Structure 1
Amino acid sequence: MGYQGSNPGVPAMRGYLVAIFLSAVFLYFVLHCILWGTSVYWVPPVDMKRRHQTRPCLSKPAFASLLRFHQFHPFLCASDLKKIASLYGSDKFDLPYGTRTSVEYFQTALSKLQSCDLFDEFDSVPCKKCVVVGNGGILKNKSLGEKIDSYDVIIRMNNGPVLGHEEDVGRRTTFRLFYPESVFSDPSHNDPNTTVILTAFKPLDLKWLWGLLTGSKININGFWKKPALNLIYKPYQIRILDPFIIRTAAYELLHFPEVFPKDQKPKHPTTGIIAITLAFHICHEVHLAGFRYNFSDPQSPLHYYGNTTMSLMNKSAYHNVTAEQLFLKDIIQKNFVINLTQD
């Protein structure tokens, strides 16, 4: 049989298949945008997998009776945001206690982060012993720095500095909770080994984080004071706290009502109480430092740094300081926690 050449229908068929493939890819992209797109600023979400990474202990922690769920992963992950919100009821509450009306803000912010891991993958310390370092003036001249640095996990909050106060508060920081109005903006305060945790109280907080991570212009309207306009931390360092932790602090630990009377402004937990609640979910033993305040003297120092006095704490309309002090007194008396600054 002689040579008959190629089948003229083959190139046409190949072109047809390529067109179908490209159309399918385009359709997938459009549908992906519709499903995941959360605003005109849509960016594809990072597929972050949650890894708790703390080993279960043979004994229960002293504070076990305070918690409904143990070994709860405290950081939100892009891969299962809606699933976890539904599982733990966060889809039934608005910020700061849930995700109900802010899912798109959470998803967009999470899409710019690189991890939702709790601890480093090489961390193998079981039954972690933790210290939560408050910013109270009681820490001044206590020389607790070396003691604080000896813990497995050191949790700090807001812009309580380490730099210049190492003798009293230590050098190491494992986790630092913050919100836009309380975060450091001076790069000298950044420790690359610290994981910083956005505690979102309002949708604007999530939009602020996304704006800084993408270099967008920040609108400062809606913040109770001017937020940071630059971010000294890298995306690998940043996590977003699951609102379940804040809700647990408010309703389970402080016993705040879900609905306040109309003549009262709603109260929310301070970052300090939220930090303790976080510690209860990731640690086996929790110690406190810097959570004692001198309410009898309005001119006594509020913080171990700066010149702010207790008079500012007494004026707070956003927090129920009395309820928090009673809670702290209770967990200390019951030996659920150890207070390093009792005296």
Structure 2
Amino acid sequence: MKRILLFFILAAAVMYGILHGNLWRNNLYWLPSTAVERRNALDTCLLKPAFESLLGDDKIYPFLCPDDFLRVAAFQGSHKFDLPYGIKRAGLSTLISGHDLSCAPIMNNGPVIGYEEDVGRRTTFRLSYPESIFSDPIHYDPNTTVVLIVFKPRDLKWLWEILGGQKVSAKGFWKRPALKMIYKSSQIRILDPSITRKTAYEWLHFPTRFPKKEKPKHPTTGLIAITLAFHICHEVHLAGFKYDFADRNSSLHYYGNETMSQMMQNEYHNITAEQKFLKKLIDKNFVVNLT
């Protein structure tokens, strides 16, 4: 029965991806791009697709919608949303913990174990994509909800394969994706693609089509998380999310050795546009900057 239910959930995800088109255009594996629809808030979550009834269980819905977050917020007694990207300095954990926050998401494969002083101890949501999700069981957290960001149709096929116990093909990814899932299927949600589209086209003003000689740009996971936060929360806090152009040797994350210099050479992101957008958010007091 569980296998049948899993089949319907993943089938619904694939149908959703096909019906709503692609997010970007990539000459290697994107399908033809479609016109970008400008939606108010998350209409796709308010009007759930007809195939929802196929799931057979009203407690399981494969797409992440505002209600998923608001239920957590109501339980925690707060509608604030913290984005602890982390900073290499003692005391940030105390700073984060000192705020009344309902959600504490972490991006990609940012570790918590061993970095509690940099990023805190709690991870409510972890936003990832196949190439960045954890595969080492040491990082498993039973209290975390994994939010899968879908950038391409291959990402949904990867989810189908990995949850269905099939052999996972690494073809079509910019780097080797996770070949096994350390999380339970009940912990996984798929981010509504309208969030990613809004980040790219409305906030960062990316073109819907890129010239063939130019690498297609897409937002960082951090910017996508901020867009999501503004859709579902009354207050957004930022901790450690910035780009230090003045010091190219500065650390990009609270973990690892990646520097600003390496990030500036990344052809798939436009961090100049992201930094301008972050500055605007902070200057206009749209976010509480804990950095």
Q: TM-score, normalization: structure 2?
A: 0.77
Give structure 2 stretches of 5+ with no counterpart.
35-50
**Alignment partner of 1:140 out of 78, 81, 88:** 88
For 1:236 and 1:311, locate their aligned partners in 2 and report how far apart those are by CA, in whole Å.
Answer: 39
Which residue identity lines up with residue 128 of structure 1 in the other structure?
H
Q: How far does the alpha carbon of each residue in 1:140-176 deviate from its partner, in whole angstroms, 9 at most, with x for none?
A: 0141113324411112110111110111210111111
Q: Match of 1:199?
A: 149
One-letter amino acid matched to 1:304: Y
The percentage of counterpart residues that share the same residue type is: 56
SS at match of 2:104: strand
SS in structure 2 at match of 1:131? strand
Question: Equivalents in 2 of 1:216, 1:101: separation in Å?
Answer: 29
Aligned match of 1:171: 121
Judge conservation of contact 2:85–2:254 (CA < 8 Å) in 1.
no
2:69, 2:232 within 8 Å by CA — same for their partners in 1? no
Structure 2 CA distance, aligned partners of 1:77 and 1:336?
Answer: 38
Is the Cα–Cα contact under 8 Å of residues 108 and 133 in structure 2 kept in the other structure? yes
Residue 23 of structure 2, aligned match among 91, 95, 100: 95
User: CA contact under 8 A between 1:246 and 1:274: conserved in structure 2?
Assistant: yes
How many Å separate the matches in 2 of 1:187 and 1:214?
Answer: 19
2:112 aligned partner: 162
Instruction: Indicate which of 274, 293, 300 corresponds to 2:250.
Output: 300
Is the CA contact (8 Å cut-off) linking 2:6 and 2:164 kept in structure 1?
no
Q: Do 1:127 and 1:283's aligned partners in 2 also have CA atoms closer than 8 Å?
A: no
Which amino acid in 2 is paired with 1:198? L
What amino acid maps onto 1:95 in structure 2? Answer: L
Pairs within 5 Å for 1:284-299: 284-299=234-249
CA-to-partner distance for each residue in 1:181-219, whole Å, 9 max, x for gaps? Answer: 111111121211111011011111111111111111011
Q: Which moved more, 1:246-255 or 1:288-297?
A: 288-297
Q: What residue is the counterpart of 1:329 in the other structure?
A: 279
Structure 1 contact 155–175 (Cα < 8 Å) conserved: yes
Q: Which stretches of structure 1, 4 residues or longer, exceed 6 Å deviation after superposition?
A: 97-102
Equivalent pair of 1:199/1:241 in contact (CA under 8 Å): yes
Gaps of 5+ in 1: 1-40, 47-75
Deviates more, 1:120-129 or 1:322-331: 120-129
The correspondence of residues 47-58 of structure 1 with structure 2, limited to 5 A, is none
**Worse-matched range after superposition: 234-243 or 298-307:** 298-307
Q: Deviations over 1:259-279 (max 9, x none)?
A: 234543221111110010111
> Is 2:177 the partner of 1:227?
yes
- Counterpart Cα distance in 2 of 1:236 and 1:92: 24
For the aligned residue pairs, the C-alpha RMSD in angstroms reads 3.3
Are the equivalent residues in 2 in contact too, given 1:267–1:318 (CA < 8 A)? yes
Q: Please tell me whether the aligned partners of residues 128 and 284 of structure 1 are also in contact (alpha carbons under 8 angstroms).
A: yes
Counterparts of 1:215 and 1:339, CA distance in 2 = 42
Indicate the structure (1 or 2) with the bigger Cα radius of gyration: 1
Q: State the Cα deviation string for residues 207-256 of structure 1 (Å, max 9, x = none).
A: 11111111110111111111111111001100001100000101111122
1:213–1:326 CA distance, 2 compared to 1 (3 A): same
**Equivalent residue, structure 1, for 2:47:** none
Contact 1:130 1:152 in 2 (8 A): yes
Provide the TM-score with structure 1 as the length reference: 0.66
| Distance of aligned partners of 1:121 and 1:268 in 2 relative to their CA distance in 1, 3 Å threshold | closer
Question: Aligned partner of 2:94: which letter?
Answer: E
Contact residue 302 and residue 308 of structure 1 kept, 8 A: yes
